[in-house]
Copies of this chain bind each other. A is one copy, B any other.
Amino acid sequence: MGLREVKRERTRRLIADKAFELFSDNGFGRTTVEQIAAAAEVGPSTLYRYFPTKEGLVLEFVDDCLADAVDWFHQQPSMELPDGLRAVIERVLEQLEANPDRVRAVFDLAEQNGSVSAHLNELIWRFRNDLADVLIRRLPGDDLRNLEFVAALSAGIAMNVIENVVRVWVDHPGTVDAKTLARQAMRLLSSGGVPLPGTHDA
């Protein structure tokens, strides 16, 4: 790895770190990209070469975690669907737990700013789609339309578990373990602890 890439990584980290600093001090809305660029000692145009949007500064970490989990799952040997879902869920949570402060900061910013929240939700949505794509290839059956439907529902379940575990984990720091909570959620879902809406007709 040449000096160039080292420097690029350093600049990228510097910009993101300064951004989080300013956001947590002054709030997302009251911080301009010019201020961030100045704090990182780069020009605004350089900042935009590293990050696509102001929100991207905040969300890159979560994005990386989710993208990594999809890639990882894609490379895993084939396994039964329930185990697969459990594996992705735990993989994502592990990745997020590796940097708890960043995760908390991201969720704080999303709570205080609608645009950050919107972009975060879109990120999650894309993850769900990507996960569904991977799932399609793992599911048996030949009715593609139905396969897509089941895969998307499954991906939605996984994301539902992840989101809610992270929320509790963020809201009550230190008192819960993410993986334990996730297993609790899965047990609730699979055992009927969360009553699912069935239909009574024939």
Which A residues form the contact surface with B (CB < 8 A)?
Answer: 80-83, 85-86, 89, 114-115, 117-119, 121-122, 124-125, 145, 148-150, 152-154, 156-158, 160-161, 163-164, 167-168, 172, 183, 185-191, 193-199, 201
Contacts of A187 in B (CB 8 A): 198-199
Q: Give complex CA distance A193, B141 in Å.
A: 13
- Please, could you name 30 A-B residue pairs with CB atoms under 8 Å apart, sorted by A? A80-B195, A81-B195, A82-B196, A82-B197, A82-B198, A85-B195, A85-B197, A86-B197, A86-B199, A114-B122, A115-B118, A117-B122, A117-B125, A121-B124, A149-B164, A149-B168, A149-B185, A150-B188, A154-B194, A156-B160, A156-B163, A157-B157, A160-B160, A183-B199, A186-B197, A187-B198, A189-B196, A189-B197, A190-B197, A190-B198
- Known contacts A125-B121, A145-B168; is A186 also within 8 Å of B160 by CB? no
Q: Give the residue name and chain of the B residue nearest to A83 (CB).
A: B197
Partner of A150, one of B89, B157, B194: B194
A89 / chain B contacts, CB cutoff of 8 Å? 197
Q: How far is the CA of A29 from the CA of B158 in the complex (A)?
A: 33
CA distance A195 to B150 in the complex (A): 10
* Complex contact A188–B86 (CB within 8 A): no
Using Cβ atoms and an 8 Å threshold, which residues of chain B touch A186?
196-199
- Which residue in chain B gives the minimum CB-CB distance to A84? B197
Closest Cβ–Cβ distance, residue A85 to chain B (whole Å): 4
Question: CA A9 – CA B167 in complex, angstroms?
Answer: 39
Q: How far is the CA of A190 from the CA of B190 in the complex (A)?
A: 9
* Shortest Cβ distance from A88 into B: residue: B197
Q: Which residues of B contact A122 (CB under 8 A)?
A: 114, 117-118, 121
Q: Residues of B contacting A152 with CB < 8 Å?
A: 164, 167
